[in-house]
Amino acid sequence: MADSSKILLSGEENSEQIKIDPSVLEVILGIAAEKVDGVAG
């Protein structure tokens, strides 16, 4: 069965919530690591 975990970020105003799938965050961090000098990937 697939992992169904999500990362939940809550805002301070208007009960804002953002749900992020860990695989999406992994892609974003991978792109960021390529753009920053001194980050091993």
pLDDT of residue 24: 92
Ordered DSSP codes for 20-31: E-HHHHHHHHHH
pLDDT of residue 1: 46
Structure tokens of 3? 């992992």
Please write the tens of the pLDDT for every residue from 1-41.
Answer: 456 799 898 988 778 888 999 999 999 888 888 888 776 65
Angle at 25 between CA 11 and CA 27, to 5 degrees: 150
Q: CA–CA separation, 10 vs 21, rounded Å?
A: 15
Q: Which residues pair with 38 in a beta bridge?
A: none
Q: Domain residue spans in the chain?
A: 8-41
Angle at 34 between CA 30 and CA 39, to 5 degrees: 95
